């Protein structure tokens, strides 16, 4: 790509042709504030906070959208620019609630950060108070009082996820972000993925907080509280305590959970290994016995609800396997309860998830037995971090520790579940060994790794060719499913994750501002943490995990057994366009 020569604040620089002023300034370390801009998601120049002067232009231009050209002279902090930015910011702040101390996003609010950067201390304008009704759903809470109309949430929901349950309505000062007919999100085809939350620059969107429920369970002497963190949590949790993005903090995480007062600290990775045993068996059974193909993974609850609403004709393609944390919850309230002599009714299972959709999943009536839910409470990575901070625990000073027995160790295949392609790779490691009748030394399937929108691979094993595909983000899932429906792609096995990049960038993960998201690929950096743990694992295949082989020997008999189906499998239902 050719370069163009420009001048920014008197500095001559050559930048790639097609760059925006914002990108060029970033290369020079020059700060230009933004609020609405998100690279690849929301590039609309709506907030006007990023305006700069360009020599010869009749008006200030939006740096996030304005392309550079040869000889351009740009000025980023002239009196005219600074005055315009401050006036725009004051107008935004004029009707924004001034309750920063009690806001979920305090100290991690982009509006707050820009106000600090621009030195805004007084607001010359008095805006009209919004007084919007707070929409509190099972998973997601919307508070339009804190909305600044940046439209990032709309872009994530409509353009990336292709769900489109929120949009701007009305005009001028009456503009708001709303769902169809002003319905609560829970009454729309919202899939609870939470991608709107992680792109929101303020506290207008957040998860429904369940921290108080967890504390109540821990402090109830009649309850036996078991916790399980998902694979992706260890890849993001450290960011809440100042660690670099992509730092695995597994050992400290286990110690922190124990310090919070949970009676047993297990790892959802065990449930992931169990899922592979059941799902791999299901795949081979369908291939060999003429079952419905392609088999599609059922680990992502956002994807499941999307399928129920958007592709009900493909429900038979879904694996009947429960998701890993739901499987593990069922095991805790059956096998573990029997082994330890604990009344299952007294066990409270708590899942720490990178996902807001898991909150909705946990209250599904089809995920439980004898009136007891498999999982009682779901908290996000962010809520877990809140609990650690509330308890006054210095996370960085914690020593590493292991998870509790009888599920103390899981395989490397299980930990990569948190990255797009990880479920597929874990399944292929086991399925290939079963078909080949031996244990392959080469366990890495590079063809299904990475953040390409859709990945398709052919795997040879036992004289059979398995056609596999991976899609992450529901927009990409839609593209892949349309190819399957049209006959363009003939596949045996599909992995779909609702969130772009997989669980590592789930709606419950630590929120990084646009100043980070625009320049660092969170999907890749957090995934590195999981692949590093996989590489270092003593056991890297689910079927070779001793805890799993023992579980089948003592309790389930074999994968796909009647008892396994009774506890580890489920079904899903078609939902109307506006059915909960």
Q: What is the CATH number of the domain that holds 452?
A: 3.40.50.1780
Of 177, 207, 237, at which residue does a domain stop? 207
Do 231 and 183 fall into the same domain?
A: no
What positions carry a catalytic annotation? 279, 282, 299, 319, 358, 361, 366, 503
CATH code of 181's domain: 3.30.70.20
Stretches where the chain sits below pLDDT 50 are: none
* Residue 125, in any domain of the structure: no
Q: Same domain, yes or no, for 177 and 68? A: no
Q: Enumerate the β-bridge partners of residue 348.
A: 225
CA–CA distances in Å: residue 275 to residues 247, 357, 445: 26, 19, 19
CA–CA distances in Å: residue 256 to residues 250, 325, 333, 414 = 10, 19, 23, 21
Burial label, 38 (beta-carbon count in 10 A; 0-12, 13-18, 19+): buried
**In this structure, what are the phi and psi dihedrals at residue 299, rounded to the nearest 5 degrees?**
-80, -25
Q: Identify whether residues 351 and 247 lie together within a single domain.
A: yes
pLDDT value of position 207: 98
Query: Tell me: the pLDDT tens digits for 21-46?
Result: 999 999 999 999 999 999 999 999 99
pLDDT of the residue at 149: 96
Per-residue pLDDT at 203? 96
Q: In this structure, are 156 and 273 located in the same domain? A: no
pLDDT value for 349: 98
Sign of CA dihedral 140, 145, 151, 152: negative
**Alpha helix positions (H), 493-539:** 514-517, 522-536
Do residue 193 and residue 227 come from a single domain? no
Q: Are both 202 and 270 inside the same structural domain?
A: no
Residues 224 and 196 in one domain: no
CB atoms closer than 10 angstroms to residue 84: 18
Extended strands (E) in 110-203: 135-136, 140-142, 167-169, 176-178
Q: Cα angle at 505 between 251 and 357, to 5 degrees? A: 100
pLDDT for 168 equals 96
Give the CATH number, domain containing residue 48. 3.10.20.740
Q: Which domain holds residue 395?
A: 212-568
417 and 432 assigned to the same domain: yes
* Same domain as 221, residue 157: no
Indicate if 448 and 561 belong to the same structural domain: yes
Is position 109 within any domain? no
Note whether 6 and 68 are within 8 A (CB).
yes
Query: Does residue 248 lie within any of the structural domains?
Result: yes
Q: Is 123 a member of any domain?
A: no
pLDDT of residue 548: 97
**Alpha-carbon torsion 570, 572, 573, 576, what sign?**
positive
Domain boundary among 207, 226, 245: 207
- The conformation of residue 42, written as its DSSP 8-state character, comes to B
Which H helix or E strand runs over 414?
helix 412-415
The per-residue pLDDT for 400 is 98
| Residue 479 included in any domain | yes
C-alpha–C-alpha distance, residues 176 and 274, integer Å: 45
Same domain for 457 and 523, yes or no, is yes
C-alpha dihedral sign at 563, 565, 566, 569? positive
How many domains, the chain? 3
Q: How far apart are alpha carbons 362 and 409 in whole angstroms? A: 24
pLDDT of residue 127: 82
Cα–Cα distance, 128 to 138 (Å, whole number): 30
In a domain, 579, yes or no: no
Does 394 map to a domain? Answer: yes
Give the pLDDT of residue 577: 64
Q: How far is CA 12 from CA 72, 146, 306, in A?
A: 10, 40, 50
**Domain-ending residue, one of 65, 93, 121:** 93
105 in a structural domain: no
77 touches 9 (CB < 8 A): yes
pLDDT digits (tens, 9 = 90+) for 173-208: 889 999 999 999 999 999 999 999 999 999 999 999
Say if CB 352 and CB 233 are below 8 A apart. Answer: yes
Same domain, 240 and 385: yes
């Amino acid at each position: 790509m050719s370069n163009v020569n420009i001048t920014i604040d008197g500095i001559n620089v050559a930048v790639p042709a097609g760059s925006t002023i914002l990108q060029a300034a970033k290369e020079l370390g020059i700060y230009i504030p933004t609020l609405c801009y998100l690279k690849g998601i929301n590039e609309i120049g709506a907030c006007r906070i990023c305006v700069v002067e360009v020599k010869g232009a009749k008006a200030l231009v939006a740096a996030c959208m304005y392309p550079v050209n040869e000889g351009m002279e740009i000025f980023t902090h002239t009196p005219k620019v600074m005055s315009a930015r401050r006036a725009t910011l004051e107008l935004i702040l004029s009707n924004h609630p001034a309750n920063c101390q009690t806001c979920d996003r305090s100290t991690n609010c982009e509006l707050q950060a820009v106000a600090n950067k621009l030195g805004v201390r007084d607001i010359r304008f008095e805006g009209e108070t919004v007084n919007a009704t707070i929409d509190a759903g099972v998973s997601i809470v919307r508070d339009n009082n804190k909305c600044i109309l940046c439209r990032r949430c709309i872009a994530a929901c409509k353009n990336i996820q292709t769900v489109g349950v929120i949009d701007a309505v009305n005009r001028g000062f009456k503009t708001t972000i709303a769902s169809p007919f002003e319905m609560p999100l829970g009454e729309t085809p919202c899939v609870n993925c939470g991608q709107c939350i992680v792109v929101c620059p303020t506290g207008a969107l957040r998860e429904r907080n369940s921290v108080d429920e967890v504390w109540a369970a821990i402090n109830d002497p009649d309850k036996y509280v078991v916790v399980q963190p998902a694979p992706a949590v260890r890849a993001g949790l450290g960011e809440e305590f100042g660690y670099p993005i992509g730092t695995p903090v597994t050992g400290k995480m286990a110690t922190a959970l124990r310090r919070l007062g949970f009676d047993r600290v297990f790892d959802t990775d065990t449930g992931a290994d169990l899922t592979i045993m059941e799902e791999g068996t299901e795949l081979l059974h369908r291939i060999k016995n003429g079952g419905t193909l392609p088999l599609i993974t059922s680990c992502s609850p956002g994807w499941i609800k999307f399928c129920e609403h958007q592709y009900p004709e493909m429900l038979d393609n879904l694996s009947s396997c429960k998701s890993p944390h739901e499987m593990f919850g069922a095991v805790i309230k059956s096998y573990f309860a029997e082994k330890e002599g604990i009344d299952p009714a007294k066990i409270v299972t708590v899942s720490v998830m990178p996902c807001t959709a898991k909150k909705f999943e946990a209250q599904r009536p089809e995920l439980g037995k004898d009136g007891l839910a498999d999982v009682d409470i779901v908290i996000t990575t962010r809520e877990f971090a809140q609990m650690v901070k509330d308890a006054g625990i210095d996370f960085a000073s914690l020593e590493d520790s292991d998870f509790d027995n009888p599920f103390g160790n899981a395989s490397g295949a299980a930990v990569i579940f948190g990255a797009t392609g990880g479920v597929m790779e874990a399944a292929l490691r086991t399925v290939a060994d079963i078909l080949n009748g031996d244990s392959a030394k080469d366990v890495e399937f590079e063809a299904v790794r990475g953040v390409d929108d859709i990945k398709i691979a052919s795997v040879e094993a036992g004289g059979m060719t398995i056609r596999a595909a991976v899609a992450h983000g529901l927009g990409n899932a839609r593209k892949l499913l349309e190819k399957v429906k049209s006959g363009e792609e003939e596949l045996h096995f599909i992995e779909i994750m609702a969130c772009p990049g997989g669980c590592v960038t789930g709606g419950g993960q630590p929120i990084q501002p646009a100043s980070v998201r625009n320049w660092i690929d969170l999907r890749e950096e957090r995934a590195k943490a999981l692949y590093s743990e996989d590489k270092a694992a003593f056991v890297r295949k689910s079927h070779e995990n001793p805890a799993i082989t023992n579980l089948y020997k003592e309790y389930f008999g074999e994968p796909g057994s009647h008892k396994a189906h009774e506890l580890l499998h489920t079904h899903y239902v078609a939902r109307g366009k506006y059915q909960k």
